[in-house]
Structures are given as C-alpha cells and as structure tokens.
Amino acid sequence: MSHFDSNLPAAIGKVAVLLGGRSAEREISILSGGGVLGALRARGVDAHAFDPAERDLVELRREGFARCFVALHGRHGEDGTVQGALELLGIPYTGSGVMASSVAMDKVMTKRLWQADGLPTPRFVRLAADQQSPEQVAAVPEVLGLPLIVKPPREGSSIGVTKVAKAGQMHDAVALAVRYDADVLCEEFIEGEEVTCAVLGQGLDAHALPVVRIAAPGGAYDYQNKYFTDDVQYHCPSGLPEAEEREIQRLSLAAYRTLGCRGWGRADLMIRAGDRRPFLLEMNTSPGMTSHSLVPMSARAAGIDYESLCLRVLATAALDTEAAALVVAGPGAAASLQGWMAL
C-alpha cells in the first residue's frame, strides 16, 4: 500500500455507498454497491451502505457522512435527482454533476448534443407520448429501415429494449418501452461489433481506459446476459487494430466532455461491420461495478485492481461548484488532494 493509500481513509472520513434505490435497476445497483462497499472497507475506509429507497437522504448529514459513493443506477440515482439533493446537503459525491447526469440519462438529449458537436450516433426517431398512434408507430421503419431498436430513452441495463426485425413487431416493441418511459426512442440498428470504453477524470485531465469488445451469443447483449450468465465473451485487450482502439477512445473522451461528465463514466458504441465506423450509443455516468461489469475489467487491463479503482473514483467525489473550480484552476489544482491516485 502506498503512502497516499495509507493516509486516505483518515483524510476522507465517513463514506456512504448509495445503493439500491427505486429504479428498475435496483437489483443491479445492490450488487454494484455491495462490491464497492467491500472494496472500500478492505482498504480501511469507514464505509456504510445507504439505500435511498429505505432511508431519507437527510440522514446522511445527521449521521456525519463526509462523502458519498453513488452506486445507484437508473432513475432517482443516475439522473441528477440524487446529485441535486447531495448538492443541497453539501455532501460531495462521485460521478457527474446534476446537469451532466440528467442529460446523459436521457438518450434523446444525449444524442442531440453529440450531433451538435459532430459526434457519430445512430439515426433516431423520438415518439413522444402524443406521437404513438398506430400510424405514427408504423411509419418509423420507413424512416430508419429494418431492423431497428426500440427502447425507453431514460432506462439502462437493456431494460425494455427490443430489436425489431419486422414492421409488424413495432406495436409490441413500443408497448414494452412505454412500460418504463412515456417517450420511446427508435434507433437505427448498427450491424457490427459492440464495444465499450471507460473514462476516468475530468476535463483535460480525463483519460480513456482500454476498450472492451463484447461478443454476446446471437448478438443478444441483453439484461440476462449482462448480469446473470457467463455466455458473453469479453475481450480486453479488445483485439481491435490499434487505430480503431485509439479512435474509440478519442470518441469516448469527446462524448464524455461534450456532456460535461466528471469523475468517471463509460461510453457504449457499435462498430459498423461494413466500413468499421464507430457510433456512440450512450454514456453511463454511474457504471456497473458487479462481477460482470466492464469498467473494472477495463481498469484491470490498465493495471488498476478493483479496490484501487473504487478508491480512485471515491477520491474524485465533489460538488458541482468544487468541480468547476478545479477546471478553472487547471490540472495542478487537484494534485495535492489526488496525488495518491498516480500509478
């Protein structure tokens, strides 16, 4: 253990690992949070589990928590709501701030911002709650072609997602998506390889970790395969040509910065088989930390073990105003606070 590691627990005080919550991803959040909790305790951090679905966030201040590790996924955890509450409580937290969390949680808004910055993302049609008549739903394949993807724009973990191969499947796909969100995102299907790229840090200090290439049975990288089977193959190092790896890392960093993310995140992309062009799908601002999760896998390939990764993320905990001050001050401003993070 390094000099900085040994001093870290005393320096950061009491830590709440926020897990569970009320979203459709509660089960995965409990797994992620449990892993983080064990890792932090193993390194001597005074860490405690805290489930916002069971306890009022005001108790964080009453019980003297110095900072929070946000291991919540989905709504009321990854969408800026908890981040806003922690801002009001004055308790620094991991991950992106209020605005970046809120925007990244909404895949339609995310795609609009990426498009505005010239970043490649699949073509899409948004069906708002008042745009879901049978005629409007049936018209989508005429715009995007088939197959296409139908999903709720503000959920994660492939919840409510359908790959539509025939126009007749559109009605059922939209009906499934609206169980989770009033709006529906219909997206051009990119045939090819799925990859993901984690990012650590903020602003000009942010850097991309090694790319993970995902090979799911039948191309079905769905909720079950993501978390509860061992059928998916993950390749890290990715095995991609060096130029492709670098381009995916470049795009992931650009996507992260465009959204104003900080702390950590993970971009999901598809590489189109026909021309090897990568397309950005979404940005996760509170990535999974389960045994099947991809950020720990990527970090491991970069020489960062799970416990060290959790400590690194925890060290970036901040409030929006603090994070903005670090960006204005420049890369050296955080050196004394985060020097222990160096490899």
Q: Which residues are catalytic?
A: 25, 157, 227, 266, 268, 282, 284, 288
How buried is residue 93: exposed, middle or buried, by Cβ count under 10 Å (0-12/13-18/19+)?
A: buried
Tokens of 16: 């709440």
> What gap in Å lies between CA 169 and CA 140, rounded to an integer?
12
* CA distances (Å), origin 85, targets 59, 181, 287: 12, 23, 20
Q: Which of 140, 127, 130 is nearest to 170 (CA)?
A: 140
Tokens of 50: 């805290």
User: Any idea which residue has 């991309």 for tokens?
Assistant: 208
CA distance from start to end of the chain = 12
Q: What is the DSSP letter of 211?
A: P
Residue 15, strand partner residues: 47, 67
> What gap in Å lies between CA 303 and CA 8, rounded to an integer?
20
Helical H segments across 22-77, by residue range? 26-42, 58-62
